[in-house]
Amino acid sequence: MTTVIGRGLVLSKVTSLDNNAAIIGYHNLANVSTVTATSETIDNPITNISNPATAYRWQASSNADQVITVQTNGQEIDYVGIARHNLNQAGLSITVRYDGVTVASNVNVSDNQAILYLQTVAAPDVVTITISGATTAASIAVLYVGKSIRLERNIYVGHTPITYGRDRTTINGVSENGQYLGEIVVRQTNKTSVSLSNLTPDWYRNTLDPFFSLVPRVPCFWAWRPTTYAAEVGFCWVEGDPQMSNQLSNGMVSANWTFRGLV
């Protein structure tokens, strides 16, 4: 089953996920040796798409239909993530296929928020993302294709969804007589904190901590309640050092961390 989540998406069909567990998508099979595209510019080749640094991007050489191909070679995947793109064009649609079988079709995007295509676990050899109907040459900074972490406990109260955790650095202009002259935004990011309790010790050590312990760490796609709040998706990174704490005498643990992400 498939659901497509991301801010401002218009869907031809959506089927609910198995549960509302939060998603961390950092595993990525799209890299310089596995990804190709119909076209690219000299300054913005398709290999840029596998670099999590959003300052680099792929750009098609024209507004003709494009197919991005990722060789996954039978490895398990359950998501495709796209970040820092210009796919929010009127008339543009996106289709995702696993081994030629359509898993998300004719998806229209209305803004440039991060997008997640979530699928039950599959093991295709090839994933294709078809971009049709662009009026301006398509551009994407980050593409992830991989298998996500689904958190062991759902998130309910006390959590700020990352799309609402606005964190802006600004300069406000005020005249000598106290008149407001306007605001200059120096930096914009989104930020949220995650606090989980009653995690089984083996799940934390074997599933979640490998993400935290990466050196260097990599950004991820984050969706806190993908079924209920499908629009609240971010491409973000961990700030500081997450801390695990032994919580109960039976070995259950708690964990707290902070995400900062793209607006």
- Give the span between the Cα atoms of 19 and 1, in whole angstroms: 12
Both 240 and 185 in one domain: the answer is yes
Give the tens place of pLDDT for each residue, 37-95: 999 999 999 999 989 999 999 999 999 999 999 999 999 999 999 999 999 999 999 99
Q: Could you tell me if 32 and 70 are in contact, meaning their C-beta atoms sit under 8 angstroms apart?
A: no
- Give the span between the Cα atoms of 110 and 143, in whole angstroms: 18
Both 95 and 44 in one domain: the answer is yes
How many domains are there within the chain?
2
Give the tens place of pLDDT for each residue, 9-31: 433 333 344 578 999 999 999 99
| CATH code for the domain of 79 | 2.60.120.260
Predicted confidence band of residue 144 (pLDDT cuts 50, 70, 90): very high
Give the tens place of pLDDT for each residue, 96-117: 999 999 999 888 888 888 999 9
Both 170 and 146 in one domain: the answer is no
Strands (E), 58-178: 58-59, 66-71, 77-85, 93-98, 101-109, 115-122, 126-132, 139-146, 149-150, 166-174
Both 139 and 168 in one domain: the answer is no
Predicted confidence band of residue 197 (pLDDT cuts 50, 70, 90): very high
Confirm whether 156 is domain-assigned.
no
Both 252 and 174 in one domain: the answer is yes
Both 69 and 142 in one domain: the answer is yes
At which of 150, 179, 197 does a domain end?
150
- pLDDT for res 124: 97
Domain range enclosing 70:
2-150
- pLDDT for res 248: 85
Confirm whether 25 is domain-assigned.
yes
- pLDDT for res 4: 55
Q: CA-CA distances (angstroms) from residue 133 to 39, 178, 186, 193?
A: 15, 50, 34, 38
Confirm whether 155 is domain-assigned.
no
